[in-house]
Structure 1
Amino acid sequence: MTSMKKTCKKCLLPTDYLNIEIDDKGICQHCRNFSKTEFLGPEKLLELVQEPLKRNQSKKYDCVVGYSGGRDSTYLLWYVVKKLKLRPLAVFSDDLFIPEIVYENMENTCRILDVDLRTIKHDNLKKCLPHHLKAWIRRPVPESLAVINVGERIGYETLVEETAVKEGVHLIFGGRTPIQEEERYKSELIKLSKSPGRQGKMDWIMGYGKQVLLNPALVSNLFCLKLQYKEFTVNKWKQKLIEENDLTIVYPFYDYVHWVEDELEEILFNELNWKLPEGKINSSRFGCEADTLRQYLFYRTLGYNDTHVDLSYLIRDGQISKEEAKDKLEDSLDFGEGYIEYILNKAGVNGKQFIQVLDRKYPETA
């Protein structure tokens, strides 16, 4: 499966990307308006962490790092240990859809860095994924793909903070980068108005309501409906948890340190002995299987997914040429139908039948 869509002349965003505006030179507004982030620098980062460190009540840990096993959080863990010289506790939210190679990379990384790894398993995603997949395939449109991963976010958004409170730690590190800010199309899709100027919560709620009216099966399971509500409002009670316990959350690669892919991969493969799945040449996006499935479904229904967005950012940032990005994109879009069918079966649906329905609705990705 390859992408043959016409794209912006500078990046990989297709000309039918949500809200894209191509000028007469064939260049999108994301490229025209791009300006490199002015990072505050590692010295400012060190200054920032001093105050929460003074409030630390743990004798064993200086901080907690949200650790997904992906490349960003792995690089973050390395940075906290090697550059900031702190003693982190790595907290992993295990949604039970994690490939074995991710566990291996995590355990190996923590051994090399001499970091404790605390894995917290939860089955919310496992309980709801079968229902949401069976409901979604009744009307397989990209707008309602937001419900597919319900149960995953509630883990990684709160378990890290709850662990920090239990340990008496007030400093938390997260791996968010400016690249992830570019992936807004997923949340904008479900809004009633797709206009980028309409960012209000009500527009999102009305868009969600429209999808429910068109496909009532999305809310036919009471447990999953409650979990949808809890997850879609998670930021509110996460913020309450932060304020009540005086927690400080820092994203080094968002505000302070420039995230550079070549440097990251040098650390992953040469210092931390990272391994890739067989046949893969790209270090990105082989974590949670449910997320891999959702990326596949975005690609099948839209013709693009997060990888198009991420690589386009790296082109604008001067880290990679468009030709190099195309090679990485080709590798990332080779999901392997057998692997997708395996994930679907593991999730509790008939993978072969699911893909057959999808093929009838979306016979090919142009």
Structure 2
Amino acid sequence: MRNYQICTNCVMDTSDSAIVFDEKGICDHCKNYYDNTLPSWHTDERGMHELTIMVDKIKKEGEGKDFDCIIGMSGGIDSSFLVYIAKEQLGLRPLVFHVDAGWNSQIAVNNIERIVDKLGLDLYTHVIDWEEMKDLQLSFFKSGVPHIDTPQDHAFFATMYNFASKYNVKYILTGANYSTECVRNPVEWMYYQSDSIQLKDIHKKFGTKPLKQYPITKILWHKIYLPYIKGIKVIRPLNNVPYIKQEAMKLLKEKFGWQPYPQKHFESRFTKFYESYWLPKKFGYDVRRVQYSSLILTNQMTREEAIEKLKHPPYDDETIHQDFEFIANKLGITNEELASYFNAPNKTYKDYASQESIYKVGAKMLKWLGIERAGKR
């Protein structure tokens, strides 16, 4: 056990057991941002020039096709703003791609429909087999690991990669960005969702149904084969343009009637329950520290504002019991069974088979090549 400490610059603290502080009390998350991310992150003319070159390639390769790229859309702020930017400012013809894992909030559904309809875009929705999804999510609850959102996240990008590979779509645009995500969740909080070895191991130990329809991707397939053999590229346009969260929300509200969420990622009712209640109450991991620290570093929130917000629980005391019951009912179990998983001993990703060594080597290579400047550690 180590003495409690909080960064003097952001709000990351020793709930991240791997955090390191310098003599001024500034954490390594901040150091990585200032040393690696900020110097090479350009949202001015340089960033726009890079993006323009890429957009020209996308348009040229998309000539004569129904669409020139695909954009994964959840209804959250990042993906919603990206769809607007792609169509209205960059002149692209994206196919809006949505994966329904069974947990969409009504607000998310409304947000997606409003933006797609008003921009005149086509929406492709892939629905994950619910019985398999439910069984896999219950497996993760039973496993005792903190990253119980893995089945949903894995399905999202596996489905999109499979679609791009099957139909030879060369460009996938994603809302991932440095502006609101320059600090990443520690790996002990949220282990790599794309690790198919761990996903299969947990399901093998705790699952009851075979995964016949559930989409599974493998790291070497989507990190090596797709980009370097098939030429499918993942583009992050929000890193090349000015992206201020509150300004983007204001624009989307005015143009589309877009509705905000209480917290980042709350477009999914499962993720809302997981990030606001399960993680902080069972494991002591409050993802708001990561989210607020990103906004502090990018000058969108003061440290004082973040500290004040963190004084209050991330979940609503009045409705958490309803949310708990909703999750249990949706998964086909009793409140008592869900509570038993909550009270069971905590486990980590290290308790199950994984490809952690491959991820560590890959992360070092991506940083060395300058491809990725923010990441888990």
- What is the TM-score of this pair, normalised by structure 1? 0.75
In structure 2, stretches of 5+ residues that fail to align are 347-377
Question: Do the aligned partners of 2:103 and 2:270 also contact (CA within 8 Å) in 1?
Answer: yes
- CA change 1:267–1:351 in 2 (3 A) is farther
Q: Which residue of 1 aligns with 2:56?
A: 50
- Give unmatched runs, 5+ long, in structure 1: 192-200
Partners of 1:33 and 1:107 in 2: CA distance: 38
Contact 1:67 1:92 in 2 (8 A): yes
Q: Which residue number corresponds to residue 314 of structure 2?
A: 333
Distance of 1:323 and 1:308 partners within structure 2? 13
User: CA, structure 1 residues 227+11, in 2 after alignment: closer, same or farther (shift >3 Å)?
Assistant: farther
Match of 2:170 in 1: 170
How far the C-alpha of 1:21 sits from its partner, in A, is 2.2
Distance of aligned partners of 1:150 and 1:6 in 2 relative to their CA distance in 1, 3 Å threshold: closer
CA displacement, residues 222-277 of structure 1 (integer Å, 9 cap, x when unaligned) = 6568999x84x5332234344554323211124x2343212222222222211246
Give 1:155's aligned amino acid. A
The answer for the alignment partner of 1:293 in structure 2 is 273
The normalised TM-score by structure 2 is: 0.73
Alignment-mate amino acid for residue 8 of structure 1 = C
2:297 counterpart residue number: 316
Once the two structures are superposed, the pairs formed by residues 137-286 of structure 1 within 5 Å of their partners are: 140=144, 144-146=145-147, 148-164=148-164, 169-178=169-178, 179-180=180-181, 182-186=183-187, 219-221=205-207, 223=209, 231=216, 234-239=218-223, 240-254=225-239, 256-276=240-260, 280=262, 282=263, 284-286=264-266
Query: Shift of the alpha carbon at 1:309?
Result: 0.4
**Residues 286-295 or 53-62, more deviating:** 53-62
Q: Distance in 1 between matches of 2:152 and 2:73?
A: 14
Alignment RMSD, CA only?
3.5
Indicate the SS of the match to 1:308. helix
Number of residue pairs the alignment of both structures matches:
325
Pairwise CA distance, 1:94:
0.8
SS in structure 1 at match of 2:33: coil
Residue identity matched to 1:127 = D
Percent sequence identity over aligned pairs? 24
Identify the range of structure 1 (181-190 vs 107-116) with the bigger mean alpha-carbon deviation: 181-190
Q: Deviations over 1:23-72 (max 9, x none)?
A: 45443232345312522412210102322432226433222111121111
Change (3 A) 1:188 1:289: closer
Map Cα deviations across residues 332-356 of structure 1 (whole Å, 9 max, x no partner). 7025422133123212222355236
SS state of the match for residue 145, structure 1?
coil
Q: Counterpart of 1:303?
A: 284
Partner Cα separation in structure 1 for residue 96 and residue 116 of structure 2: 8
1:96-115 aligned at under 5 Å gives the runs 96-115=102-121
How far apart are the structure 1 equivalents of 2:135 and 2:109?
22
Q: CA offset at residue 218 of structure 1?
A: 7.0
Native 8 Å contact 2:48 2:241 kept in 1: yes
For the 8 Å contact 2:133–2:151, the answer to whether it is kept is yes
Deviation at 1:78, TM superposition (A): 0.7
How far apart are the structure 2 equivalents of 1:63 and 1:332?
A: 40
Whether contact under 8 Å (1:89, 1:118) holds in the other structure is: yes
CA contact under 8 A between 1:175 and 1:251: conserved in structure 2? Answer: yes
